[in-house]
Structure 1
Amino acid sequence: MSWVDIGVNLTNKQFKDDAADVVERALSVDVDQLILTGTSLLESQQALSLAKRWPGTCFSTAGIHPHDAKEFQPEQLTALAQLLIQPQVVAVGECGLDFNRDFSPRPVQCEVLEQQLSLAAELNMPVFLHERDASDTLLAILKPWRDKLPAAVVHCFTGSEIALRQYLELDLHIGVTGWVCDERRGTELLAMMPLIPAGRLMLETDAPFLIPRDLQPKPKRRRNEPCYLPHIAATIAAKRGETLAQLSEHTLAASQRFFGLM
């Protein structure tokens, strides 16, 4: 079996001293490819640098997270475009809308998202999307762009069943994290796992965030890592009535096709 972790924040300071060990531990449990998330121009540059250290194993995204939208200047689009044409960079993002924390004004979030969708359409690249409490607005913005984009994934999906069905109707992919392993707040999401068709589901840790709460024995550190992806996969496979091998086969194929991985 082989797995792809489509969302790893390896540029996070929690990994500054042992990124190589983190990648090695992932490979040791057959998490064979990692997509390193870019959330600002600087972090997108850093993610690309890290991806270059492990060719064929690590790839990266380049984009502006809605939290960082308020800092974005139009001239940075050129620099972002230069990153996106690098062979290791496989998607535009992380971009989207966050109406939960509202770290950037909502109109600014929408404008910066539109600019990145335009860039993705121009470059014919998939989009790695963030959405919190903003599904209606995200859908309204995405719909005119959808036929101009090769693909888009709502990463770290934690929304409602209504939102899930609307995203699937728009032919979006769904990224699922260890949120499904959280008995306090993940039961609703776990119940939705059978609703996601094979070919649209992709797996991620969002490391170092969202460590699965039900890991046994409990890790000494509360830092999530890609090596925990098979644990998340086991939870999802059981709920979907699939074997781990079946889940691995279709999520691997979906992820490699979506990101154009070698």
Structure 2
Amino acid sequence: MSTTQWADIGVNLGDKQFRGDADAVLERAREAGVTRMLLTGTSVAESRQALTLCRDYPGRGLRATAGIHPHNARFFDDDALAELAGLLDEPEVTAAGEMGLDFNRDFSPRPDQEKAFEAQLAQAAERGLPVFLHQRDAHDRFLPLLKAWRDKLPAAVVHCFTDGRRALYDYLDLDCHIGITGWVCDERRGKALAELVPAIPAARLLVETDAPYLLPRDLPEPPPVKRRNEPCLLPWIGRRLAALRGETPEALAALTFANSAVFLGD
């Protein structure tokens, strides 16, 4: 077992790809030194599942978010907001989200996305909870909505950041954390992000797998179990980040672990 501790701030452990072997996934994470994981809620049902997993595996460093992803915003209504309120009041739920805007795929109409995003920001502010944010191809609309609430929120992380320099500095100006995934390990799509990584202030950096998605492209053979991403691969992403920033993996692990505690209010 690794003696270096890592924090994975974005794990979709309730995804169907993990059904039947969550025990093994968590054990591999433990052996890799991933001792803190934030389980992502992207709908009311998946937020409930994230909370259940935290309770099913006590002592594993699991925490949950509760929220409605912009892809699911078409299902957002007063009943969903009330159910989220109940989930956000549970002690294992330490952040609100995943929430935000996604104008890349538009799985939900944009007015529905904006309505759900603003309502969830208000709900998080009322409870003094940090927010777990999603933004894709929507920066110009996302930024003013977030800015209107940022001073009322204890912390915010722009999860799976893949945007450009202007967006990065806009979020840093709002004192947001920046979540970096295995996207940075992709020599095709991740080159621009890799160039930006050194510009992220040490106190703002967080690392995540977004498992089971975004499997790092540069992993050696053989491929991982079921060709899916897992929390145990977080140190691989961390080593890539450390190299880009001119740091040791151990120093980056300690830094991002401490930053996760700040973000979550531990």
TM-score w.r.t. length of structure 2: 0.96
Residue 186 of structure 2 corresponds to: 182
Residue 83 of structure 2 corresponds to: 79
Task: Look up the SS of the partner of 1:94 in the other structure.
Answer: strand
> How many residues are matched?
261
Residue 39 of structure 2 corresponds to: 36
Alignment of 1:1-262 (within 5 A): 1-56=4-59, 57-220=61-224, 221-261=226-266
Q: 1:160 to 1:218 in 2, by over 3 A?
A: farther
- Deviation string for 1:107-128 (max 9, x for gaps)? 1101110000000000000000
Bigger drift between 77-86 and 50-59 goes to: 50-59
CA distance in 2, matches of 1:230, 1:151: 24
| 1:75, distance to aligned residue in structure 2 (A) | 2.1
Runs of at least 4 residues off by over 6 Å: none
Task: Look up the SS of the partner of 2:25 in the other structure.
Answer: helix
Bigger drift between 209-218 and 126-135 goes to: 209-218
| 1:250, distance to aligned residue in structure 2 (A) | 1.2
| 1:54, distance to aligned residue in structure 2 (A) | 2.1
| 1:174, distance to aligned residue in structure 2 (A) | 0.4
Paired residue type of 1:189: L
Gaps of 5+ in 2: none
Gaps of 5+ in 1: none
| 1:248, distance to aligned residue in structure 2 (A) | 1.2
- Deviation string for 1:121-144 (max 9, x for gaps)? 000000000010011111110111
- Deviation string for 1:18-77 (max 9, x for gaps)? 011001100001000111100000110011000112224111100000000001111221
- Deviation string for 1:148-173 (max 9, x for gaps)? 00011000001011111111111111
CA RMSD of aligned residues (A): 0.9
